[in-house]
Amino acid sequence: MARILITSAIPYINGIKHLGNLVGSQLPADLFARFNRAMGHEVMFICATDEHGTPAELAAAKAGKPVDVYCAEMHEVQKDLAAGFRLSFDHFGRSSSQRNHRLTQHFAGKLAENGLIEEVSEKQVFSIDDNRFLPDRYITGTCPNCGYEAARGDQCENCTKQLDPTDLINPRSSISGSTNLEVRETKHLYLRQRSLRDKLEAWIDSKHDWPILTTSIAKKWLNDGDGLQDRGITRDLHWGIPVKKGDQPWPGMEGKVFYVWFDAPIEYIAATAEWADANGKADADWERWWRTDMGAADVTYYQFMGKDNVPFHTLSFPATILGSGEPWKMVDYLKSFNYLNYDGGQFSTSQGRGVFMDQALSILPADYWRWWLLSHAPESSDSEFTWENFQTSVNKDLADVLGNLVSRVTKFAVSKFGNDVPAGGHFGPLETALIADLGARITDYTRLMEQMEVRKAAAELRAIWVIGNEYLQAAAPWSVVKTDPEQAQAIIRLALNLIRVYAVLSAPFIPDASATMLQAMGTDDQSWPHDISAAMRALPAGHAFTVPENLFRKITDEERSDWQARFSGVRT
């Protein structure tokens, strides 16, 4: 039994995420976690909400709520939506937790001890009316490049040009709208990442099995002139983790907090400690996942994220870990994803364009979305969600191939032989051939799942469903029962066992349908079919079963057109 640690990029707190966010990290991580549990491995699957930084304060102000109240409420919203999509986290934490406060301050203190923190004086915009320094996103004004009047201090959303706050024409505070601004000097702490370049490069070069997307992004940031730079790890904000060296004050840093990019990945560790707290466990129970001197040396650690998060997880977070000089577990495999686009354009949180997680669950159950998103995961390149493709995939893959097989077999079995697995007949050449084909395909499917080849694994699973339908067509129990009822019983006995096998194999992709299939087969046996011959006899003659409700319904053309129109514009 292996020990598998899995983290998915933690979603930002400011609002409900769209399907592109979901398929870029949390959903494939859940697929991998479910698969490894089914294989009998010990799994720790961790995620959290990322709650600090400028967008959290702005979102709270827009909602008219204190930022801590807003974050607490949105954490519950995101936690509930994760449960709705059947994301099987062992713990879904919060980066604002006291565990993360202490760990972030601990890492900062260790980095300082090792000479990797530098105080830097820099100029920043100060709002006299607000009596505070304004980070980039707290400043809006007219873009000097395109004239857009609501450009932010870091980037113009209209023309995408990167900006500094001092570039803006007629700058104003995003908090109060005040134009009473001036440039003042302030001090911040910088992590001296460049001094860790050789260690980071050696570590990245040791990862020969990483996806090309991950390695290419990491090396680009490492080697480009503007890539690996010393980075500020503090901000002049009110909401965040106070700047301390461990539990000691940091002279000159009073009133400042750690920058969100610094504390957010540390929350992976902190959330595991939160899991221990929530379950009445000792520190040793979470440290065995994260400290190599406490047992984590035999852990294999996998991270899942969109490609925009790769630089932070291949350079900045590793710099924190390496720079601490402590025996923390570092990632072994980083699975990164390209972008999922939406119906001829892009998903947009700010414009509300596309399908968001709450909207998706309001129109169809989780399995419909899980299947389409995973079977179209943007691995080697960007992929695109279209309503036509979604409708076709649901109707053909789920309803026609899998759902139809389960319905046909169970209804026919009950009508001809009652609610117990029939005992007559023996497996013949067709059954023997199917079992052999299944064994080979399950071996391939298992290998693809182990390798995190998400789309290929989905295609192989669908092929496994298809050969069951092809067997039924060839065996034709509805005809055989008229001439050889004993052989028809053998066909149905195999087909009912096939449904249980399909339930087990399909559970990582479509867990609700899997549970329904297992319940209908009257079993909780979820053992992986390593021995397919034995698996196809797991439900013995006389075992009771029922006809499940329709697993999947088809999407009508009218529904598709309605949804396409409904989700094309601004979310209200």
The reply to whether 268 falls in a domain is yes
Residues 6+ apart with CB under 8 A from 364: 394, 555
Count structural domains, the chain.
Answer: 3
**The two three-digit tokens of residue 347, written as one number:** 């998903």
- Gap between the Cα atoms of 334 and 314, Å rounded: 8
How many Cβ atoms sit within 10 Å of the Cβ of residue 252? 10
Q: 444 and 427: one domain?
A: yes
Q: Is residue 568 one of the residues assigned to a domain? A: no
- Residue 446: Cβ within 10 Å count: 19
Residue 44 pairs in a beta bridge with 5
Tell me which of 296, 320, 337 is where a domain ends: 337
136 and 38 in one domain?
no
Q: Is 256 inside a domain boundary?
A: no
Asked whether residue 107 is domain-assigned, the answer is yes
Helix, strand, coil percentages (3-state) for the chain, rounded to 5, are 50, 15, 35
Q: State whether 202 and 164 are in the same domain.
A: no
Q: What is the CATH number of the domain that holds 474?
A: 1.10.730.10
> From CA 455, how far away is CA 449, in angstroms rounded?
10
364 near 357, Cβ under 8 Å? no
Same domain, 20 and 63: yes
Conformational region of residue 557, where left means phi above 0, alpha means psi within -120 to 50, and beta covers everything else: alpha
Enumerate the known binding-site residues for ATP: 349
249 falls within a domain: no
What is the per-residue burial (b if ≥16 Cβ within 10 Å, else e) of 543-561? bebebbeebbeebeeeebe
The CATH number of the domain holding residue 103 is 3.40.50.620
Beta bridge partners of 142: 169
CATH code, domain with 129: 2.170.220.10
Model-level pTM? Answer: 0.93
Residue list, annotated binding site: 143, 146, 156, 159, 349
In a domain, 162, yes or no: yes
**Known binding-site residue numbers for Zn(2+):** 143, 146, 156, 159
Chain CA centroid to CA 369, Å: 14
Kindly give the confidence (pLDDT) of every residue in the chain, 572 residues in length, as a single tens digit, with 9 standing for 90 and above.
Answer: 999 999 999 999 998 999 999 999 999 999 999 999 999 999 999 999 999 988 898 899 889 999 999 999 999 999 999 999 999 999 999 999 999 999 999 999 999 999 999 999 988 899 999 888 888 878 999 999 999 999 988 888 787 777 888 889 999 998 889 999 999 999 999 999 999 999 999 999 999 999 999 999 999 888 875 668 899 999 988 899 999 999 999 999 999 999 999 999 999 999 999 999 999 999 999 999 999 999 999 999 999 999 989 999 999 999 999 999 999 999 999 999 999 999 888 887 767 789 999 999 999 999 999 999 999 999 999 999 999 999 999 999 999 999 999 999 999 999 999 999 999 999 999 999 999 999 999 999 999 999 999 999 999 999 999 999 999 999 999 999 999 999 999 999 999 999 999 999 999 999 999 999 999 999 999 999 999 999 999 999 999 999 998 999 999 999 999 999 888 765 44
* Residue closest to 23 by CA, chosen among 300, 338, 246: 338
Shared domain for 33 and 160, answered yes or no, is no
Helix 260-278 crosses helix 283-290 at what angle (to 10 degrees)?
Answer: 130
Residues 137 and 79 in one domain: no
Residues 303 and 291 in one domain: yes
Q: Provide the domain limits for residue 215.
A: 3-115+196-220+262-337
d(CA 391, CA 40) in angstroms, rounded, equals: 35
Q: Is residue 105 part of a domain?
A: yes
Q: 272 and 136 in one domain?
A: no
Q: Are 410 and 430 within one domain?
A: yes
- CA torsion 451-455-460-466 (nearest 10°) is 160
Mark whether 445 and 509 lie in a shared domain: yes
* Same domain, residue pair 407 and 457: yes
Q: Which residues pair with 306 in a beta bridge?
A: 337
Same structural domain, 96 and 176: no
Long-range residue pairs from 102-106, CB within 8 A, at least 24 positions apart, any chain: 102/247, 102/270, 103/266, 103/269, 103/270, 103/273, 104/241, 104/258, 104/262, 104/263, 104/266, 104/270, 105/241, 105/242, 105/243, 105/244, 105/245, 105/246, 105/247, 106/246
- Measured between alpha carbons, how far is 475 from 479 in angstroms, rounded to an integer? 9
Instruction: Label residue 316 left, alpha or beta by phi (over 0 means left) and psi (-120 to 50 means alpha).
Output: alpha
φ/ψ bin of 567: left (φ > 0), alpha (ψ from -120 to 50), beta (otherwise): alpha
Specify if 131 maps to a domain. Answer: yes
